[in-house]
Amino acid sequence: MTSLNNLTIHELHELLKNNETTSLEITANYLEKIKQKDVLLNSYLYVDYTGATEQAEQTDEYIKKIKNSANSDFPYLTGIPLSIKDIFLMKGKKTTCASKILENFISPYDSTVIKKLKENNFVFLGKANMDEFAMGSSTENSAFKTTKNPWDIKRVPGGSSGGSAASVSADLCAGSFGTDTGGSIRQPAGLCGVVGLKPTYGMVSRYGIVAFSSSLDQAGPIAKDVLDSAILLDAVAGFDGFDQTSRKFKIKKYSDIVKKADKSKIKGLKVGIPKEFLSEGLDDEILSNIQEIQNNLRELGAEIVEISLPDTAYSIAAYYVMATSEASSNLERYDGIRYGLRSAKNSPDNALNSPIGLNSLDDNNMISGGTTANHANLEEIYINSRTAGFGNEVKRRIMLGTFALSAGYYDAYYKKAALIRKLIIKNYKDAFGKVDLIIGPTSPTAAFLIGEKANDPLSMYLSDIYTISVNLAYLPAMSIPSGITSKNNSNGAGLPIGLQIIAPWCSEDKMLETAKIIEDIVDFRKKYQPGATF
Ligand code: GLN
């Protein structure tokens, strides 16, 4: 029954409801495929074979009981196996954030996202690979392994949630959760031909998610289709008192909205295309793909409006000042004292071989054990542990952020970046005064080659040009697959193209409805599949 693997969450739910399969059968199929294929793809950092099997068995019992009760309904995610980006804390399981510094860190509690998924009785398959501390666009910055793109294993899956996107795309799970600080859900979803949704800032709790840049970080789903992305969002959206930036939004049932989506809703819809998104650097075929979608929408009665987001060009610079500043502060906690890796000797080389695990937590969840004997003083522990524990990109960002926040430079960098952020917010506000939604590319090119940008941080940073401003403006946006590159594409043939839909603050309903209608027109999942090469 390998065909179970490529079904969507809503399709699997129907089978579970109608006694045509069990959670155990679904889970066993995924675990078997992971065992066979993930040696090639590296989408998982850790697979919970035993835990997933046990959970599936228990869930089957639970489903049986529910079916015999008066209200025989159970949630969409009950019995459904998911992969989870290794940035979400899950009690008793490792959370490494793909960093040596957290290599043996066992989560002492559940993040709110995981808590809510558990309330839905999901099945946890394992932790998905990512760029270290979510810093990157290719998953090459993972301290442990590089994930491959299921459409072409010579290429990156995007990042930082590359493991999540690759595992969904290769049918190694039914869906996944990632985080998006500057594009890390949308860009990998775009490059892997799946759906990725970054909700409005404040809609999904950040509690228990390892912080990168707290004013930009937002968790969201990566899914096989638009309805699944809404189902996953429904499960985790909502106010949470544990996250100070969580908002009391009027949350809707997004899966119901997607189910009711109808082409007639496009009539009169004003869709903006920012001219700054269609400029230099954009792959020709991605440009023509957007024009095609534009024509499709126009045929259904939409009004296509050229708009301007005039300060787009400054968004990358502003982002890299703000995100690195916040990161330098958030990452101060990894000091070799409280948790994570502590260098054992006064030599960074030795330190790498001697991580201190958290398997010996004391009552306060502090490390017990580990020696400080070989360090001359506290500062040496800090320096050696951080030198050994962090990778190059993380160090680069800590240095950039520390510099930007330092006395005498604050006004020139951080303050200026904050002012640009205000301009970007205003750009979007003006645009949404004229249009209901904005569409554009998710990335300037399809998936690039592994190694192509690894030694050129600036060109890697530029690959996020269309996604970053959305985070700066706190807006919701999603990427859906909208086509495929041709044989002659010089940036790579036969690769998925992602279309980005950006909505006004808290307008996930309109965004998802339109995404579903475009999805039906493109019919991507029926026409194209990855896997020829793996
Ligand atoms: N690629 C961007 C960066 O490297 C965004 C990362 C993210 O969204 N987590 O910062």
Which of 393, 412, 431 corresponds to the end of one domain?
A: 412
Q: What is the mean pLDDT of residues 31-36?
A: 97
Query: Does a structural domain hold residue 446?
Result: no
Q: Could you tell me if residue 368 is left (phi over 0), alpha (psi between -120 and 50 degrees) or otherwise beta?
A: beta
Task: Confirm whether 160 is a catalytic residue.
Answer: yes
Length of the chain: 534
Q: What is the mean pLDDT of residues 98-110?
A: 95
Alpha carbon of 366 to ligand 1 centroid (Å): 30
In the chain, how many domains are there? 2
Is 261 in the same domain as 404?
Answer: no
Is 361 in the same domain as 213?
Answer: no
Is 171 in the same domain as 257?
Answer: yes
Give the CATH number, domain containing residue 29. Answer: 3.90.1300.10
Domain, as residue range, for 366? 315-412
From the candidates 184, 213, 328, 469, which is the catalytic residue?
A: 184
pLDDT at 212: 97
Could you tell me if 261 and 518 are in contact, meaning their C-beta atoms sit under 8 angstroms apart? Answer: no
356 or 59: which carries more pLDDT confidence? 59
pLDDT at 241: 95
Band the pLDDT of 366: cuts 50, 70, 90.
very low
Residue 395 pLDDT > 80: yes
Q: pTM value?
A: 0.94
Q: Whose CA is nearest to atom 4 of ligand 1?
A: 136
Main-chain dihedrals φ then ψ at residue 481, nearest 5 degrees: -70, 135
Query: Does a structural domain hold residue 395?
Result: yes
Q: Whose CA is nearest to atom 5 of ligand 1?
A: 182
Give the position of tokens 């979400």: 88
Alpha carbon of 94 to ligand 1 centroid (Å): 22
Q: What is the pLDDT of residues 406-431, one digit of tens each?
A: 989 988 999 999 999 999 999 999 99
Which of 412, 428, 458 corresponds to the end of one domain?
A: 412
Cα separation of 43 and 37, whole Å? 10
Ligand 1 pocket residues where CB is under 6 Å: 134-137, 160, 180-184, 212, 323, 464
Which of 412, 441, 461 corresponds to the end of one domain?
A: 412
Is 258 in the same domain as 369?
Answer: no
Residue 373 pLDDT > 70: no
Is 60 in the same domain as 161?
Answer: yes
Q: What is the pLDDT of residues 54-101, one digit of tens each?
A: 999 999 999 999 998 888 899 999 999 999 999 999 999 999 999 999
Is 260 in the same domain as 327?
Answer: no
pLDDT at 261: 98
Is 41 in the same domain as 162?
Answer: yes
pLDDT at 351: 40
Is 81 in the same domain as 158?
Answer: yes
Percent share of the chain, pLDDT over 90:
84
Which atom of ligand 1 is nearest the CA belonging to 471?
A: 8
pLDDT at 361: 38
Of 165, 178, 268, 191, whose CA–CA distance to 500 is shortest? 191
Encoded amino acid at 152, one letter: D
Which two tokens mark 71?
A: 């209200």
| CA angle 434–440–446, rounded 5-degree value | 175
363 or 118: which carries more pLDDT confidence? 118
Of 483, 488, 526, 321, whose CA–CA distance to 412 is shortest? 321
Chain mean position to CA 81: 17
pLDDT at 363: 41
pLDDT at 532: 53
Which atom of ligand 1 is nearest the CA belonging to 137?
A: 1
Query: Does a structural domain hold residue 36?
Result: yes
Task: Confirm whether 214 is a catalytic residue.
Answer: no
Query: Does a structural domain hold residue 93?
Result: yes
Question: Residue 284 burial (CB < 10 Å; 0-12/13-18/19+)?
Answer: exposed
Is 262 in the same domain as 319?
Answer: no
Alpha carbon of 40 to ligand 1 centroid (Å): 25
Alpha carbon of 213 to ligand 1 centroid (Å): 10
Residue 111 pLDDT > 90: yes
Query: Does a structural domain hold residue 434?
Result: no
pLDDT at 462: 85
Query: Does a structural domain hold residue 127?
Result: yes
Q: With residue 316 as reference, give the H or E element that holds it.
A: helix 315-330
User: For the chain, what is the mean pLDDT?
Assistant: 92
Could you tell me if 152 and 443 are in contact, meaning their C-beta atoms sit under 8 angstroms apart? Answer: no
Could you tell me if 161 and 118 are in contact, meaning their C-beta atoms sit under 8 angstroms apart? Answer: no
Is 99 in the same domain as 232?
Answer: yes
Is 117 in the same domain as 179?
Answer: yes
Q: Which residues of 298-327 are buried (b: 16+ CB within 10 A; e: fewer)?
A: eebebebeebebbbbebbbebbbbbbbbbb
Query: Does a structural domain hold residue 459?
Result: no
Task: Confirm whether 184 is a catalytic residue.
Answer: yes
- Give the chain's largest Cα–Cα span: 73
Cα separation of 361 and 331, whole Å? 21
Q: What is the mean pLDDT of residues 111-134?
A: 98
Coil, helix or strand at residue 384: helix
| Number of Cα atoms under 13 Å in the Cβ half of residue 319 | 30
Residue 432 pLDDT > 70: yes
Query: Does a structural domain hold residue 27?
Result: yes
Q: What is the pLDDT of residues 437-457, one digit of tens each?
A: 999 999 999 999 999 998 888
Is 173 in the same domain as 261?
Answer: yes
Band the pLDDT of 377: cuts 50, 70, 90.
confident
pLDDT at 350: 42
